[in-house]
Each structure stands twice: as structure tokens, then as C-alpha cells.
Amino acid sequence: MSERVTDRSGWVALAGTYRHFPALAGNSSTDWLVIGGGFTGLAAARRLAELHPNDRIMLIDRKRLGQGASGRNSGFAVAREMPGPAEIRHQKDRAVYLANAAIHQAAGAEVKRLVSELGIDCDYDSGGYIFAVRERAKFQALEERARMINDLGGEARVLDHEALKARLGIGFYNHGLWLGGGNALLQPAKFAKGLIDTLPPQIECFENTEALRIESAAGGGVVVHLPDGQVKARRVIVGLNAFMPRLGLKRDRVFPISLTASLTRPLTEEEENAIRKAAPWGGLCPVEGGATVRLTADRRILMRNTAEYEPDGISEAMLAKRKAWHEMGLRHRFPFLGKDAIEFTWSGHMAASRNWTFVFEQVSPGLYAAGCYNGAGVARGTLLGRLMAEHASGERSPLVETALGLDKPSWVPTGSLFTWIAKVRLAHELHQARSEH
Ligand SMILES: Cc1cc2nc3c(=O)[nH]c(=O)nc-3n(C[C@H](O)[C@H](O)[C@H](O)COP(=O)(O)OP(=O)(O)OC[C@H]3O[C@@H](n4cnc5c(N)ncnc54)[C@H](O)[C@@H]3O)c2cc1C
């Protein structure tokens, strides 16, 4: 992945002023070093401070805290995944779904707890969100999915064209499934900024401080090399998500996917009338390659309809093309929006694994990693960062045990073979889902 992503997230731009932290230079030693200042790293550092009030805790990020994927995502805080047809029909897949459900629900609850306890103003909306399509064939087993969720104590409701139109204010979608039960929407950069603003003072934060290499230290502990010095830590927690492979971690398990999104200016009074002043909503597509759309609390529209394997990042020229795709998606849904409604366009990296599972493990003595949430890291990262701090501290709990016991990401080839497979696969998914762009 190159450094070509220079675009700025609309969420970040609208979140207000961020605290600045210095870069770290020279040689230091610490009890704990957390690498990566996204949801995972922020949660890990916070929990370490609670568990070890007298320890030295350092947190570094190669750019700005909270402004990587954590400040660039679509803001769906997932507490209940929608089961797929296999999870409905096959006992083995259902067992995996159920095993993961405990983590998902705890993750959704953790976001809610932090927002409330820390008083974070991030437009948190616990009203759930909607999976919706135009083409019925793109939503397999719609009713069975709703039934399974409700049977498991969740909240789901099938919506037809009229119900969708009444709720969303647009007639684009024909079949939908509302999913509540802890699922929430938020302004992700405001959430991340709130977590940064409330970090305990014990945590020493450093920005523009890139970890270049991690190695075991002679005599115990871990040494992390920086551009201008090194840190020797008793223990290191890595919250690098899509950047893990770059530091040589999980290279044959985790891969980055580039997503791009746009946010419009606020709707005009006329446009508000056109959608009958619908309350804020979030819409996802049940098939890979479909679009994510939101009507935000501040009355803008978020559009994301690309997912690509571009390990070198998205250049400015590529971003301009993706923006045109977003404009197309907006035209399909909100034909009354004039040209030039988009105010921000940006890209970001999510991490994925072949079998849709996350990384949560001790990698080597003193080195721990959590990440790769397959596009659902707002809640999962927030929980698993905390759980990783507990695990690395030797704390045991049912949730830590559950996280350790789940399937690990499966093997993927590396190099040009993988590049070819991933590009073809993702391009195919985008093509298959074109009616849903
Ligand atoms: C456009 C988009 C839409 C998404 N939508 C959603 C959604 O709606 N819901 C959802 O749950 N998830 C979504 N995701 C995924 C979600 O953003 C991530 O799962 C989540 O941010 C992961 O948090 P994290 O802290 O593990 O990683 P990140 O947020 O990626 O943080 C990792 C941090 O590590 C830093 N870093 C990288 N390399 C180094 C290094 N060498 N040294 C030091 N620091 C380094 C980065 O600068 C970054 O700040 C989306 C992602 C994108 C890009």
C-alpha cells in the first residue's frame, strides 16, 4: 500500500478540531506500546490504563489518531450480523454464526456504553439499519433470514416497496429487511475523536510516528523501530488492521480492500421535501459489491459503491472516477439532487480475510494483534481492542475466551497470483451487483 491516499474524509472534516500530538523520536522504553490509533488501538490503550494505572503506556500512529479507516468508514456499528443462506440451512455454518454472535452483541453494547459513559456526541442512533435491494433475486432467503434473527432474540422486519419508500423517502428499493437489536449508526470520526479526547492522561500519544519493524528484544520484550529511534516495550499490542501485512504480520491471512465514499452537502429545503423529511437512515446491500447509503443526522447523503483490491492505494485520478460512480448511485436514488452535490470524496482501507474471521491472538512473546474485521470494525475493533488489552494482561473472561476460540483467518496466497484473483473477484462482484449501485 502506498502513501497515495491524500484525500480527506468528510466525517473527519466535519468532526471539529482534533487534538495534536507530537511525533516520537529517539530511544525510549515503556511497559506497553500500542501501535495504531484507530478504534482497536484506542480501546486497547484505554483498557490498559484502567488495568495498570502505574505503568507507562505509549500509543503511536503513523498519521493522525482516529483518522485512518476509523474516521473514514460508513458508521454502521454492527451488533447483529444478518445470517446468510448457508447459516440458515447448514448446521455447521449456523454454529459458527452463533459462536460469533456473542462477540457481535458485546461489541455493539461496548460502543453504546462508551458513547454514554464518556458523553461522546457522535449522532449515535440505536434505531438499526436496513438491508435493501431493487432486484428480488439479489436478496436470497429474505423471510428466512428475518425469522432466524427473530428466533434468536434479535429484531428484524421485512419491508416491501411501499414500506421502504415511506421510511427512506425514496422509491429506489423494492425489498428490504430492517435489523435492530443493538445495531446502530454513528458519525465515525466524531466517535473516534470523542475516544481520543477522553483518553486517560496516563496514555502518552504520538502521531506521525510510523512503526517500521517489530522484533523480539534480546532478554525479553519487543523492540519497535521508528524512522527516528526505537521503543523497547515489555509488551506491544498491534491495532493495524489492513496495515498488518506491511509490518510482516498475517501476510498470508489478511489483505486490504480499498473503499471509496462521498458525502454530499446538506440537503436543501426542496430536497428535504422530495424525501418527505425522512428521519436519518442507513442502507446496506445484502450482496457483495452493492452500495452503502446513508441519510445522515446532519442531513447529508453518504454514498459508497466501490470495493477494490488496490494495494497501492487510490490515486487522485482514480478517486475522481470513483466520485463519478458515487454521482451515478446518487442519481439513481435521489434524481432531484443537482450536479455537484458531493462535497467530500475519500478512500480508506478495510481489512479482510478469506473466511470472514478476525485476528485476535498473541503473535510471538510479548506481541499481540487484533484486527481484520471484514468491514465491521467500528464495534468489533472497539470491543476487541479492549479484550486484547485484557488478554495481554493475563486477564481471563468468557468474552476473551470466546474471542480466542473462534476460527482464525484462513490462508491466502501472496504475490501476483493473489493480486490477480482478488482483482477479478472484486470486479466480478461489482458487476454482479450493478443493479444495486
Ligand atoms: C470506506 C469504509 C467504510 C467502512 N464502513 C464500515 C462500517 O460502516 N461499519 C464498520 O463497522 N466498519 C466499516 N469499515 C471498516 C472499519 O473502518 C474498520 O474495521 C475499523 O476502522 C478498524 O479499526 P482499527 O483500529 O482496527 O484500524 P484502523 O482504523 O485502520 O486504524 C489503524 C491505524 O494504524 C495506523 N497505522 C498504520 N500503519 C502504521 C504503522 N506502521 N505504524 C503506526 N501506525 C500505523 C493507521 O494510520 C491507522 O490510524 C469501513 C472501512 C472503510 C475504509
- 391: β partners: none
- Would you say the CB of residue 81 lies under 6 angstroms from ligand 1? no
pTM: 0.97
Q: What percent of the chain has pLDDT over 70?
A: 99
List pLDDT tens digits, range 409-419.
Answer: 999 998 888 89
- Would you say the CB of residue 256 lies under 6 angstroms from ligand 1? no
Q: For residue 211, which atom of ligand 1 is closest to its CA?
A: 42
What's the pLDDT at 433?
Answer: 82
List pLDDT tens digits, range 41-54.
Answer: 999 999 999 999 99
Task: Say how many Å lie between the first and final Cα of the chain, rounded.
Answer: 26
With beta carbons less than 8 A apart as the criterion, state whether 69 and 241 touch.
yes
What's the pLDDT at 7?
Answer: 74
What is the C-alpha separation between 155 and 179, in angstroms, rounded?
A: 6
What's the pLDDT at 165?
Answer: 98
Long-range contacts of 101-105 (CB under 8 A, 24+ apart): 101/152, 102/399, 102/402, 103/380, 103/383, 103/384, 103/399, 103/402, 103/403, 103/406, 104/78, 104/79, 104/80, 104/376, 104/379, 104/380, 105/79, 105/80, 105/182
Q: For residue 304, which atom of ligand 1 is closest to its CA?
A: 1
Q: Which amino acid residue places its CA nearest to atom 11 of ligand 1?
A: 376
What is the C-alpha separation between 262 and 197, in angstroms, rounded?
A: 26
Helix (H) or strand (E) run with residue 130 in it = strand 129-133
Closest Cα partner for 377 from 348, 406, 408? 348
pLDDT confidence band for 1 (50 / 70 / 90)? very low
With beta carbons less than 8 A apart as the criterion, state whether 67 and 410 touch.
no
Closest Cα partner for 158 from 77, 76, 82? 82
List pLDDT tens digits, range 308-326.
Answer: 999 888 999 999 999 999 9
Closest Cα partner for 281 from 436, 379, 437, 169? 169
**Residue ranges of domains in the chain, CATH in brackets:** 10-72+190-254+355-413 (3.50.50.60), 128-185+255-354+422-436 (3.30.9.10)
What is the C-alpha separation between 205 and 246, in angstroms, rounded?
A: 22
Q: Which amino acid residue places its CA nearest to atom 53 of ligand 1?
A: 348
**Mean pLDDT value of segment 251-261:** 96
pLDDT confidence band for 338 (50 / 70 / 90)? confident
Whether the per-residue pLDDT at 3 is higher than 60: the answer is no
Whether the per-residue pLDDT at 215 is higher than 80: the answer is yes
Q: For residue 247, which atom of ligand 1 is closest to its CA?
A: 41
